[in-house]
Amino acid sequence: MKRIHSFSTRLSLGIVGISSIIFILAIGTAMVLSYTIVAEEAVKSAENLRDASIAKIEKTLLEVEMNVQARAWLVKENLDDEQYLYHITHQIVEENPNIIGSAIAFDKKVFKGKYYFSPYSYQDGEGGILSKQLGSAQYDYFYMDWFQIPFLMGKDCWSEPYFDEGGAQELLSTYSYPIYGENGEVIAVMTADISLDWIEKLLADIKPYPNSNIILVSRSGAFISNSSGIDLSGETVFSTMYYASGADNNVLLLAEALSRGETGAMEYSVGNKVSFAVYAPLSNGWKTYISCDYKDVLSRAARMNIFMILIGLLGVITMFLLSYYMIRRLTKPLSEFSDSVIRIAKGDFDAQLPEIRSEDELKQLRNSFEYMQKSLKDYIRELQVTTSEKQKFISEINIASKIQMSMLPTDFLNTDRVGLYAMVLPAKEVGGDLYDFFIKDNILYFAVGDVSGKGIPASLIMAITRASFRFITRMGLPMNEVMSKMNDALAEGNTTGLFVTLFVGRLDLETGELQYCNGGHNPIVTVTPEGEASFMKPKPNIAAGLFEGFPYVLETCTLRKGSKLVLYTDGVTEAERADKDQFGEQRLLDWATSAVKVCPEAEEACKNLYDTVKQYTDGNEQNDDITIMTIRYN
């Protein structure tokens, strides 16, 4: 079934559709902007965190460095007091709880007879501090990085992270500070070992995002601390790259930038995970970087955007419902109008129109409808009156027609001597054609006429004519006299201008003498006993009713037995087809020539002529009364 969407639904959907497009564009722009801003802010925030963590770490490292450096002069001053040298290391460990061990490793040339000399103090793990001499053939410190590097370079440094072999597998780093002798040569390296566990704790507390990883690596790229929870001991920044499947080239660039001790930020991806990292070196050559997963970074923005989308959707739905409700309310009268119009169309002209309180187009529409309703009502009322009157008139006309027809004699003749048949077919309800006949003293009187005009006036004239024919004929006057009297009767006081073409005749059935007078009527057709048909050529007389006192001429002839007469009005010869071609006199003559033979009786012949004319007009509307009278004389 075809679903019909209401106007309000379509309009509401249209509004919502356009609003949705605007909304999507707005939300899309807002999302892109919010993601960009949040990402930029995240990088800045991560950089701040990075710098803050570097500052915190460096502060602790600096305390250690200061602790060592502050005592360097004491070493030089007390080279001859071994116990004091031990005391110095003891002091360093004692003073700074971060320092778990401290040594003064002397070069082999400083003390004669002492290849290895390195006073060393360390936390014993139970709150005490122990001391010992560190160097030996098994612990050949001269070739260890913590000694050798500052010794060769002549400057302090922090060692690569290492695990405390004897202790609790703590990750340690050693700060080494070279002490110069009188001649500018390095005579010893002073150290402080610190556990690096605090760095992990420190960095864990400042994670910017749940999945962020804050990493501190040594000069060799070894992991000092990482907050990922993954054990990366022994790994380097470069080695871990090979475990990350799907890493893009930026991962390598990041590792290289980090290795070179650069400061910056870089975006990289591993598989589907896109992250950025901010990185910077510490003053001791270590490097830190903070990596942040964009998923984490943008999650807040994403939540906000989801909220925006939900609000937007809610807005669109509300807009749809509201606009639907409002449009429906505004257009409700339209459907009520529709109902009213249907009711009016069904004839309920008192159907109630919807009430419109607003002064707008709908009010105008209602006014128009109301006017139309009133006009229709008035028109229909008038139409009802008119129709009623017309009905009455038609009814009266019908009665008049019946009366008129009843005036015409229907007791047609069909004896051996004479046969007569006639028919009148008015074009309207009542016509102006007439015929009449009667026999008196073996004489047949007959007439055929055609009143000018049609309808009621013509029918009245026809009635007068027929009545005057009967009356005047009975006076026994010659037929021209009859015609004259009828003319006078009709012409007297005739202000309507109506007239009658009339053919009146008197046939002596005994002798065959035909006396007749033609008052402007169509010439009648005579058919001889031999079957030859021809038009009579009567004297020219004018139609009756035109000029009172007109002198009509009488004519006579004698019919031989077996002759036939065909009288007719112009409704026959002027009968038209749709192409306006008329039946005409020639066709009438042709019919008379042929038909009289096959239709010997008057009735047959009369009906046959009518059928022939009807056949000729082929259903075209009859526009004039048709009257035919056929007479057979034997």
Partner 1 sequence: MAAALCACSLYAQKVTFAPQWTPQAQFAGFYVACEKGFFAEEGLDVEIKHPGINSSVSSMDMLKSGSVQIAGFQLIQGIIARADGARILNVFQTTQESGLCCVSRKPISSPVEMDGLKIGRWKVGFSDFCEMLETYNNIHIDWVPFLNGIGMYVYGAVDATLCYSYSELIALELAIGKIPEDQILFFSDFGYECPEDGLYVMEDYYNSHKDVIDKFIKASKRGWVYARTHRDETLDITWKYIKAANINTNRETQRRMLDAYIALQQNKISGRIDFAPVKPKVFKSIVKALEDVGYITEEVEYNDIIR
Q: Which residues bind partner 1 (CB under 8 A)?
A: 137-140, 143-145, 148-149, 152-153, 157, 159-160, 162-163, 165, 169, 219-222, 233-236, 238-240, 242-243, 255-256, 259, 285
349 is written with which tokens? 């002209």
CA 277 to centroid of chain Cα atoms: 51
Q: Nearest-CA neighbor of 613 among 582, 567, 580?
A: 582
Contact between residue 54 and residue 320 where contact means Cβ atoms under 8 Å apart: no
Nearer to partner 1, 90 or 287 (CB): 287
Q: How far is the CB of 135 from partner 1 (least distance, A)?
A: 11
The residue to which tokens 């501190």 are assigned: 216
SS3 content of the chain, % helix, strand, coil (to 5): 45, 25, 30
Q: Nearest-CA neighbor of 53 among 201, 161, 206?
A: 206
Compute CA distances 36 → 32, 42, 223, 279, 427, whole Å.
6, 10, 32, 20, 96
Q: For helices 7-69 and 197-204, what crossing angle results, to 10°?
A: 150
Q: How far is the CB of 319 from partner 1 (least distance, A)?
A: 59
Nearer to partner 1, 161 or 431 (CB): 161
Q: How far is the CB of 226 from partner 1 (least distance, A)?
A: 14
The residue to which tokens 């790229």 are assigned: 221
Nearer to partner 1, 245 or 406 (CB): 245
Which amino acid, 616?
Y
Contact between residue 177 and residue 191 where contact means Cβ atoms under 8 Å apart: yes
Degrees to nearest 5, angle at CA 452 with 554 and 522:
45
Nearer to partner 1, 233 or 368 (CB): 233
Nearer to partner 1, 251 or 606 (CB): 251
Q: How far is the CB of 251 from partner 1 (least distance, A)?
A: 12
Nearer to partner 1, 145 or 585 (CB): 145
Q: How far is the CB of 151 from partner 1 (least distance, A)?
A: 8
Nearer to partner 1, 148 or 622 (CB): 148
Q: How far is the CB of 152 from partner 1 (least distance, A)?
A: 4
Contact between residue 562 and residue 553 where contact means Cβ atoms under 8 Å apart: no
Q: How far is the CB of 28 from partner 1 (least distance, A)?
A: 41
Longest distance between any two alpha carbons in the chain, whole Å: 199
* Rounded-to-integer distance, Cα 145 and Cα 158, Å: 10
Nearer to partner 1, 222 or 602 (CB): 222
Q: Using CB atoms within 10 A of its CB, is residue 251 exposed (0-12), middle (13-18) or buried (19+)? A: buried
Q: How far is the CB of 157 from partner 1 (least distance, A)?
A: 6
Nearer to partner 1, 237 or 413 (CB): 237
* Rounded-to-integer distance, Cα 78 and Cα 83, Å: 9
Nearer to partner 1, 5 or 155 (CB): 155
Q: How far is the CB of 127 from partner 1 (least distance, A)?
A: 27
573 is written with which tokens? 């010869």
Q: How far is the CB of 163 from partner 1 (least distance, A)?
A: 7
Buried b (16+ CB within 10 A) or exposed e, 606-629: bbbbbebbeebbeeeebebbbbbb
